[in-house]
Structure 1
Amino acid sequence: MGTGRLYGVGVGPGDPELTTIKAARIITAADVVAYHSARHGRSIARRIAEPHLRGDQIEEALVYPVTTEDTDHPGGYQGAIDEFYAAAAERLAAHLDAGRDVVVLAEGDPLFYGSYMHMHKRLAHRYPTEVVPGVTSVSAAAAALGRPLVERDEVLTVLPGTLARAELARRLRDADAVAVLKLGRTFGTVRGALADAGRLDEAHYVERATMSGQRTGRLADVDPGSVPYFAVALLPGEAATAVPAPAEVRTDRAGEVVVVGTGPAGRDRLTPEVAAALAEADDLVGYGPYLDRVPPNPRQARHPSDNRVEAERAALALDLAASGRSVAVVSAGDPGVFAMAAAVLEVASEPKYLDVPVRVLPGMSAAQAVSAAVGAPLGHDHAMISLSDRLKPWDVVEERLAAAAGADLAIAIYNPRSKARPWQVAAARDVLLRHRAPDTPVVLGRDVGGSDQRITITTLGGLDPELVDMRTLVIVGSSQTRVVERAGRTVVLTPRHYRR
């Protein structure tokens, strides 16, 4: 049997909800849970971890023999403590030697003024060891005050209250921001050192941060007789606490239109550049269902519209930008592929809008997403054709389909079908069959990347128009496109080399 693993696990400053997910998982899985306590036997670390204890674990209570320097041990206080730590380490070593995983609980962080470090120094070189960090009392105290500690080049100094008064005062005078720990019986010395350093009025007091008895206030007002060990003195830095002057809000700023592509579906396909543009916009303009993909922000105005009013939508965006607004025009997929980029730029070319800035930010196109979902059917030369005849005659659509098929290009077909045009998929198939073999691979990708994703691999001769709707992109392969079964998955690819 191999040895067990030693874990030093920080459980945070007091609130069990500040225990990390990793810490909770390791505590629950451990064979042995150890914790330090004074002679009364109560352990704050164990109380914090209690929700994660199974109930059948071995518990090792490591009870300090002394908590003050008054002792009759022949080695004095340090001798008594060293003897205790050595004995505690060997108790844990017996479990580790037996192959049991041992968690040593630590309030706050295990390696930040914590008792665990004494076990770590004695055992970590002998056994596999992992330390799980926790939220420190300093972080908890700052959060309780709701005040930042340091900013920019300021330095945070952490001091133990056990230092001599003169040494504390010296360090307090030289520091930007300070956290003083281990108060309790040292509070009088700490308070005196703050006064000596001329910083008493700056000091804040936090007691039992994040626990049920949390108390905060001015340190100068605290009764020394009421201070527990679990208290912190904080002196935030000057820069961190300075109240900034009100920012000047520009009213003459220039507006802008940014046409963005959100990808085929889902935030995972959104580029950081587009996400930043959406976050910075004052107004979002777009087809209603596409705007619905962008989480609402009460700071922003949203202007949804029907899918057939591209010019009006573009004019609205440009008018808003002309008035000084930052406007994002939202397209699905890539805005330059059968989407709003061309519509906005066409209207923006009118004389009244020539001075309005317009940018276009790319997104992942539906053709890219569908192609990637099955492999690489667009891996060689290809064409993108829309079957919609709302903006061009159907005979032009047929001519382009025939030309692309005659040139032996793979074809990505957009807008294949709508309620008003249910016949066009079959008509397009028939045009393509004049130039392509019936066994030419065809890929139907619906809502790729979304919750309703559906991928169908068929052939041109077997293409059923009823499987296609407006949310489907159709990829028709070239004569070189092939279907391969590999590793339990069907892959469609068009090789980069071309063989006649």
Structure 2
Amino acid sequence: MSAQQQRPAGRLYGVGLGPGDPSLMTLRAVEVIAAADVVAYHSARHGRSIARSIAERHIRPDHIEEALVYPVTTETTDHPGGYRGALEEFYEQAAARLAAHLDAGRTVAVLAEGDPLFYGSYQHMHQRLADRYETEVVPGVTSVSAAAARLGKPLVEADEVLTILPGTLPQEELTARLAATDAAVVMKLGRTYPAVRQALETSGRLPEAHYVERATMAGERTAPLAEVSPDSVPYFSVAVVPSRIATPPPAPAHGEVVVVGTGPAGPLWLTPESRGALARATDLVGYTTYLDRVPVRPGQARHASDNKVESERAELALDLARRGRRVAVVSGGDPGVFAMATAVLEVAAQDTYRDVPVRVLPGVTAANAAAARAGAPLGHDYAVISLSDRLKPWDVIAERLRAAACADLALALYNPGSRSRTWQVGKARDLLLDHRAPDTPVVLARDVGGPQESVRTVRLADLDPSEVDMRTILLIGSSQTRSVRRGPDPAGRPTVWTPRRYPEK
């Protein structure tokens, strides 16, 4: 037969069958199976296929059936390429079997539980064949949607974020992602269940979590996840942490205050632990500018105040916690660096509040953020000093500047200037010039991470106090700090770093 007379290649279908109940198959899935010449499905070595059982009523005696039997079901194998190598070899062989049918002009329907491209085995066939043959993917109802439906609880509402996680992730990674998200579904439980449960408990999400086993299938079971024994959890089960709007978390047994560091600016600088604490709080307390960085959540009270009332803000937070509220005190940067942690702990030390739990969650500091933008100017020993004389006299500041300069430490100078403090930067510059060379690199970093970010490097002798305000942090190099222009920097800035090795005298 000539090439012109060859039968055209067949068509490949990835057919989503839904979560298990045959009545949840789509009309399109039924149509495709009916029209297919070949029906393929994956199975374990025992030969039983859940996908085939779902579609069984639509499989005819004249269908050609291709059972794609996995060579391994756990990560134990003597294959020279290990577990991954055994699977890769299997996928290649399975794709070759299907390609033979397609080359013969047959239509091939690959059955897949749930949705074909959602943690499905079909995707491995799709990756190997879709670029060679005409292909259609028929979507199916996922186990995620089925689990939410069987629980009767919305997964997400409004601006909430849903995170879908495989239980096979490391426990610490699961904990971080569960802490940071609004709603979550953890799949692939089975042997991973103990680690998943511990991650839910560590992240504080266990009271909200639900367990769904074999949703829409025979043997379906739902329960609060905290009540489920690890001895009874199959692979086809999921953990669901639903919408907090629809189902608010249980009220805390006792109030607490969590001082949360939000980093220098914006959500990119927020740690997962801090994000989770902000989401779980019943009340947010903080300076208005910092509170504005935190998304508004239904049912969450916000208590904004001016920047100069730290003690009053701390007292409010502790009073709310005494009344059983879960309070997050919002602090910029790291709360322990010239920020709210000290203010809260000072008030919490009073007898009235000694029984109120207080936790401090770290954040990215302004100094570290600015240093990263410039390179690594704080790569060796350095000192952090506030130039504000509102809470300590200038004589103390000057003495500490001299001590740090004499010790040849790099410096991170916080609170260098404001509308009412205009002379401190000049005084600090002149004092440091008594100990540092005029060409010592100085990084002026303003609004790092924010929309008006500006990072420049100048010589110490050229530091102009008029270019410094309260939103600026100054990083001043030691005698060893280097400033070098290297390569095409998009911002045209030099790279500044302080070597880790200090020269021997």
TM bucket normalised to smaller = 0.5 to 0.7
- Tell me, yes or no, if structure 1 residue 491 matches structure 2 residue 495: yes
2:160 is aligned to none
Structure 2 CA distance for aligned equivalents of residues 391 and 433 of structure 1? 25
Equivalent residue number for residue 171 of structure 1: none
Assess if the C-alpha contact under 8 Å between 2:252 and 2:326 holds in 1: no
Is the 8 Å Cα contact of residues 115 and 142 (structure 2) preserved in structure 1? no
Write the mapping of 1:228-247 to structure 2, written as runs, cut at 5 A.
Answer: 234-235=216-217, 237-240=219-222
SS of corresponding position for 1:428: helix
Amino acid at match of 1:147: R
1:134–1:360 Cα change, 3 Å: farther
Structure-to-structure mapping, 1:45-194, within 5 angstroms: 77=62, 89-90=103-104, 135-137=139-141, 142=146, 146-147=149-150
User: Which residue is 1:314 aligned to?
Assistant: 314
Amino acid across the alignment from 2:354:
L
Q: Quote the Cα distance in structure 2 between the aligned partners of 1:252 and 1:275.
A: 18
Aligned 8 A contact 2:383 2:412 in 1: yes
SS at 1:498 equivalent: coil
CA shift at 1:476, angstroms?
Answer: 0.6
CA positional deviation for 1:421: 1.0
1:75-134: per-residue Cα shift (whole Å, max 9, x none)? x9459x9xxx978635699xxxxxxxxx9999985699x9x99xx69x969987999976
Q: Which residue number corresponds to residue 343 of structure 1? A: 343
Please say if 1:275 is aligned against 2:279: no
Aligned partners of 1:151 and 1:239 also within 8 Å = no
Give yes or no for contact 1:177–1:236 (8 Å, CA) kept in 2: no
* Matched residue, 2:383: 383
Q: Is the 8 A contact 2:261 2:332 kept in 1?
A: yes
Structure 2 CA distance for partners of 1:271 and 1:111, relative to 1, 3 Å:
closer
Distance verdict in 2 for CA 1:406–1:292, change over 3 Å: same
Alpha-carbon RMSD across the aligned residues, in angstroms, is 4.8
Per-residue displacement from partner, 1:59-82 (whole Å, max 9, x unpaired)? xxxxxxxx997xxxxxx9459x9x
- Could you tell me the percent identity over the aligned residues? 55
Cα distance 1:137–1:256, how it changes in 2: closer, same or farther (>3 A)? closer
In structure 2, what is the Cα distance between the partners aligned to 1:447 and 1:324? 36
Partner of 1:293: 293
Residues in 2 aligned to 1:87 and 1:131: alpha-carbon distance in whole angstroms: 14
Residues 314/133 of structure 1: CA separation in 2 closer, same or farther (3 Å cut): farther
Structure 1 residues 374 and 89 mapped into 2: Cα distance closer, same or farther (>3 Å)?
same
8 A contact 1:286–1:305 mirrored in 2: yes
Equivalent position of 2:453 in the other structure: 453
| Structure 1 contact 9–104 (Cα < 8 Å) conserved | yes
**Deviation at 1:304?**
0.9
Which residue of structure 2 aligns with residue 57 of structure 1?
Answer: none
CA contact (8 A) 1:260 1:360 kept: yes
Query: How far apart are the structure 2 equivalents of 1:126 and 1:469?
Result: 58
State the partner residue of 1:218: none
Letter in 1 for 2:328: A
Structure 1 residue 278, shift from structure 2 partner: 1.4
Q: Distance in 1 between matches of 2:381 and 2:189?
A: 53
Rate the CA distance shift 1:480–1:327 in 2: closer, same or farther, 3 A. same
- Tell me: CA distance 1:106–1:461, structure 2 relative to 1, closer, same or farther (3 Å): farther
What is the TM-score of this pair, normalised by structure 2? 0.58
Offset of residue 487 of structure 1 = 3.0
Separation in structure 2 between the aligned mates of residue 388 and residue 7 of structure 1, nearest angstrom: 73
User: Structure 1 pair 349/177, CA: closer, same or farther in 2 (3 Å)?
Assistant: closer
Q: Distance in 2 between matches of 1:497 and 1:304?
A: 46
8 A Cα contact 1:151 1:237, kept in partner: no
- Which residue number corresponds to residue 195 of structure 2? none
8 Å contact from structure 2 (residues 15, 110) kept in 1: yes
Contact 1:261–1:362 (Cα < 8 Å) also in 2? yes
**Contact 1:13/1:140 (8 A) holds in 2:** no
Partner of 1:147, secondary structure, is helix
Greater Rg by CA = 1
On the 8 A contact 1:9/1:109 being kept in 2, the answer is no
Q: Is the 1:110–1:131 contact (alpha carbons within 8 Å) kept by the matching residues of 2?
A: no
Give the aligned partner of residue 42 of structure 2: none
**What's the secondary structure of 1:456's corresponding residue?**
strand
> Which residue does 2:364 correspond to in 1?
364
1:302 and 1:140 mapped to 2: Cα distance?
Answer: 33
Distance 1:410 1:111 in 2: 53
